[in-house]
Structure 1
Amino acid sequence: MKLLMLDILDNEKIFPVVISTITTIVVFFLTLLTKNFIDTRILRSKLNTEHKFDQRKKIKEVLAKHKVHLLSACEDFNYRMWNFANNHNNNWLKVNGNYLDRNTYYFQSFIYRLLAVLAWSKKIQKDMIYLDTTIASKEDLDFIKILNIFPCMFCDLTFLEGLQANTNNTDHFYKNEFDHYAYYLITDDGIKSFSTYLDELSTSGSKLNHLFLFFDGMSPLESRKRWDRCHLFQITVIAFLNNYGYDFQKTDPEKFKEILNLPKRSSYLPNYFKLLDDYCLMHNKKIKELKKIAKV
């Protein structure tokens, strides 16, 4: 064997052939390995791209499905808060515990308009439960974040009162309880109309007792934080409409200044914008504009 190897090495004709053959074999296997590696990377990249595209497409479809309804509900609530700011002295929200009277129109329609925003928001979130919203486009992700902010205005204690907040305070709601209110209006094909809501007051309205109690007699002049929560919810609604609404649904800077100061300026505005920052929403152009106007 050793002699054979020496003969090959000494043979000027055979040696180059052997070297060439070995080189070809080595190059072949290296090429094969490299090709497999590159093909695998390309395939993974393609699958990731297709997955991201598919998820983003489905997210947009879900948002578009209920977006117009949510915009209308937000617009209605915004108008009601604007109206309340100018008419709070009339005490139209003071019903003295008479919660199941369908004739207390201002009170019941106020509750309904809030529930409508929550219901349409919940329908969108429910339809997205199996979608990977973490890879949504920036615009859609901000949409989703604002939906998550809505209940915080009524449920989050610390952003108003700090870490020492009293959890027994009646001017807030527990998250699960508040979710229940969102489902109160939801039907298979949308949400209940205001007339249906009124018709069902006598039979199922008691399910909303805590919500009724929260709004009963609410005033911006009281020492409680009920109005502040509704006011900050309105600002969130305005941020949503300014981002995604029709031009006629948007609030211009001058009107927003009025909203901030009528009938008074909330002392919790810095806390509010800090909460938005915690949700990574302060990069949003429209929200930055609102903060600039608020001079926080």
Structure 2
Amino acid sequence: MPASWRFDAIGTTWEIVTERPVPGAVRREVTARIDAFDRAWSRFRDDSDVTALARTGGSIPAPEDAVPMLDALAGVSDATGGAVNPLVGASLDALGYDARYSFHDADPVAAPVDWRERLTWQGGRLALTEPAMVDVGALGKGRLVDLVLGILSFTESGDLTVDAGGDLAVRGRPQRIGLEHPFDSHRAVGVWEVTDAALCASAINRRAWPSAAGATLHHVLDARTGQPVRTIAATWAMAPDAMTADAIATALFFDGGPRLAHDWGVEWVRMTTDGRVEWSRGCRADLFVRTTAGPGTAPVSRPNSLER
């Protein structure tokens, strides 16, 4: 029987499924790697590297993963016309998704369009010309899934699944994953078989809260306006690694996302807020829509309950 290790970290529930129980030494290595990543990149921690940089600006030794994550974020930002921006932290804070989880919103704040003039990550240094909060939420969880998978793949043989709150990577036996309907968690818009790959999802019903005016706010913002996205409800992307899948799942909320997915060789599905499902050419997900010709757009016809 497979062994399951469940724990909470970085604000979500993790589940690691292996053929045998993960040894204590490996568990400690995984836990230490997650904590190191969190201490470097969490904008919710007073003692993190990015929080220290946000207080004063200037330069600090670049945390591990700065180059691959910020290089990828630069590509996503270019593809989406600046809708994705690693200096979006102040925009999230303004809507109440802050370090205290106050959920007390104020006027929206657009992220600086010249972020690449303000933020640099070369030469082993992470630097800001003035204080700002770096937020790698567009792909950071996917990067951490890859790091954890790397530790486990080095020590564990056989089938392996790392699931961090819906961002998951699979090695070995294929896993059939239900694509949760963003408006009803008991239903699905389809199912996707994942084999030696990563599947990442994002949706506006996760990390959502009411505004003072009564509207629903959520964490997926257009950095150009500081406002939540209102046209796309959920996205799913499959790639060889979770950081790439996570980045594309974010990009798909905006114009330019599908083109970037094509350029990076990523399959995808997304659902609009009016209930239509769109998918990429050659997408192998089994979607519950009225037509299966792709690439295309179709309304959901019969979202079913699914268990992974």
Q: TM-score, normalised by structure 1?
A: 0.29
The higher relative CO (CA closer than 8 Å, separation ≥ 6) is in: 1
**Higher helix fraction (1 or 2):** 1
> Which has the greater radius of gyration?
1
**Higher strand fraction (1 or 2):** 2
